[in-house]
């Protein structure tokens, strides 16, 4: 009998972390590898945020806090939701966890019964399906191909809903595609949900402020107030404030669900770090001016990467609205032969070929549920990106029919 529980047999380790580990291994062995696999900004946490943490340490904020977050941080989150999203929450509708990841995990564990269905538009963030499975639910994938801008269309959503559907998870701007929904695109989806009261909505807004070309961000509970009572709006400081290591995420939503999520957290991790909560408070209450410069840098990199990838034989790369990822199709490379005579059959073969032949680490589309594609994170220096794209062009040019 295995020491590991049966339910673990149904999930897989994070494939994005696996790529990062393989790239690190090759680097350690002396290979020249450019890693484009990671999902975190290369910028540092802003100084004013760090100051919040130093002050918390100095003033002795080093003990347990309320499981679901300090009152001060909750008030800052309430103010943020009001200011940015026009959403009104009371303190008992807010919960703070160790990253958006824990908040999402708590939400699914707190709400999904055995056999409940969770609709996950593909390509998706890698953790949604496995979290759903751990909670006893069944992920229902709906394909959102490149020609639909990688976005869920209302008629596709309608078809996927059954009496067992418990949640729809929307993520905009998206990891892995960078695609973001306009107000009217969200409205078309919330109109469908209005007809199905058994379905609640998780909106993962973690890339909310990493958007380009004057794109206007909206979140579903704001677009359709009638869905406010069955929407969990998830956000966090990891991406926007370059605070991935601090581990703070949060959500606003229905009281009963928030209470259940907090109960789960009370028996697993308890509160998120008191120091990190103080830093997140500084972030949310601070001046956002620093973001304009960072987003401008991200936008320049996005434009360069999209242009260079579209110039590579066999690749086609749409220009996304936000986040720091692009999700090119490598359909034109599938079925071709590498200089070593190996036929590329899948996007997994393709990213392996890139890593082994030119030392560029990306993640295969299969990891995100839509193939044949791959994800590039452009949250790295412009020089490294230019070099990586040049190498990708060379690798593509070396393929033979």
Candidates 94-102, 264-272, 375-383, 392-400: pick the segment binding ligand PLP (CB under 6 A). 94-102
Q: Which of residues 236, 252, 348, 365 is near ligand PLP by CB under 6 A?
A: 236
Q: Which of residues 38, 249, 252, 359 is near ligand PLP by CB under 6 A?
A: 249
Cβ proximity to ligand PLP: between 39 and 318 the closer is 39
Distance CA 42, CA 48 (A): 18
Contacts of 91 by beta carbon, 8 Å cutoff, 6+ apart: 71, 74, 75, 78
Distance CA 306, CA 166 (A): 37
Candidates 17-25, 95-103, 225-233, 330-338: pick the segment binding ligand PLP (CB under 6 A). 95-103
Q: Does 129 bind ligand PLP (CB under 6 A)?
A: no
Q: How many other C-beta atoms lie within 10 A of the C-beta of residue 184? A: 9
Distance CA 323, CA 180 (A): 9
Distance CA 5, CA 111 (A): 21
Q: Does 244 bind ligand PLP (CB under 6 A)?
A: yes
Distances (CA, A) of 294 to 13, 45, 201, 249, 379: 31, 12, 31, 21, 10
Q: Does 14 bind ligand PLP (CB under 6 A)?
A: no
Q: Does 238 bind ligand PLP (CB under 6 A)?
A: yes
8 Å CB contact between 314 and 330: yes
Q: Which of residues 70, 93, 132, 175 is near ligand PLP by CB under 6 A?
A: 175
For the record, the structure tokens of 45 come out as 């946490």
Cβ proximity to ligand PLP: between 165 and 177 the closer is 177
Q: Does 277 bind ligand PLP (CB under 6 A)?
A: no
Question: How far apart are CB 111 and ligand PLP at their closest, in Å?
Answer: 17
Q: Which of residues 146, 171, 277, 380 is near ligand PLP by CB under 6 A?
A: 171
Cβ proximity to ligand PLP: between 95 and 338 the closer is 95
End-to-end CA distance of the chain: 49
Distance CA 318, CA 331 (A): 14
Question: How far apart are CB 206 and ligand PLP at their closest, in Å?
Answer: 4
Residues of the shown chain interacting with ligand PLP in the complex, contacts defined by CB under 6 A? 39, 99-101, 125, 171, 175, 204, 206, 236, 238, 244, 249
């Amino acid at each position: 009998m295995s020491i590991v529980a049966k339910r673990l047999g149904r999930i897989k380790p994070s494939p994005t972390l696996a790529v990062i580990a393989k790239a690190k291994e090759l680097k350690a062995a002396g290979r020249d590898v450019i890693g484009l696999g990671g999902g975190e900004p290369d910028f540092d946490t802003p100084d004013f945020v760090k100051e919040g943490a130093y002050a918390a340490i100095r003033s002795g904020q080093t003990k347990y806090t309320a499981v679901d977050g300090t009152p001060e941080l909750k008030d800052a989150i309430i103010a943020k939701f009001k200011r940015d999203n026009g959403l009104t929450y009371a303190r008992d509708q807010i919960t703070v966890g160790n990253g958006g990841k824990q908040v999402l995990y708590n939400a699914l564990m707190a709400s999904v019964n055995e056999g409940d269905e969770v609709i996950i538009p593909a390509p998706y963030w890698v953790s949604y399906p496995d979290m759903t499975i751990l909670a006893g639910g069944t992920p229902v994938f709906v394909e959102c191909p490149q020609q639909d801008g990688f976005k869920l269309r209302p008629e596709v959503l309608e078809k996927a809903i059954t009496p067992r559907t418990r949640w729809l998870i929307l993520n905009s701007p998206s990891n892995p595609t960078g695609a973001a929904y306009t107000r009217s695109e969200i409205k078309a989806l919330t109109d469908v949900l209005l007809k199905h009261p058994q379905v609640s909505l998780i909106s993962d807004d973690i890339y909310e402020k990493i958007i380009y070309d004057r794109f206007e961000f909206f979140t579903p509970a704001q677009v359709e107030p009638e869905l406010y009572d069955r929407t969990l709006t998830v956000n966090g400081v990891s991406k926007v404030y370059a605070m991935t290591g601090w581990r703070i995420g949060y959500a606003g939503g229905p009281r009963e669900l928030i209470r259940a999520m907090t109960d789960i957290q009370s028996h697993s991790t308890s509160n998120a770090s008191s120091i990190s909560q103080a830093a997140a408070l500084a972030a949310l209450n601070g001046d956002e001016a620093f973001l304009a410069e960072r987003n401008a840098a991200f936008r320049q990199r996005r434009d360069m990467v999209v242009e260079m990838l579209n110039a590579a034989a066999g690749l086609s790369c749409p220009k996304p609205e936000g986040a720091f990822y692009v999700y090119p199709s490598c359909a034109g490379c599938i079925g071709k032969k590498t200089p070593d005579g190996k036929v590329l059959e899948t996007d997994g073969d393709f990213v392996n070929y890139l890593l082994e032949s030119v030392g560029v680490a990306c993640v295969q589309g299969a990891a995100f549920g839509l193939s044949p594609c791959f994800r590039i994170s452009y949250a790295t220096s412009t020089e490294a990106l230019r070099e990586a794209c040049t190498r990708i062009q060379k690798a593509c040019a070396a393929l033979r029919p």
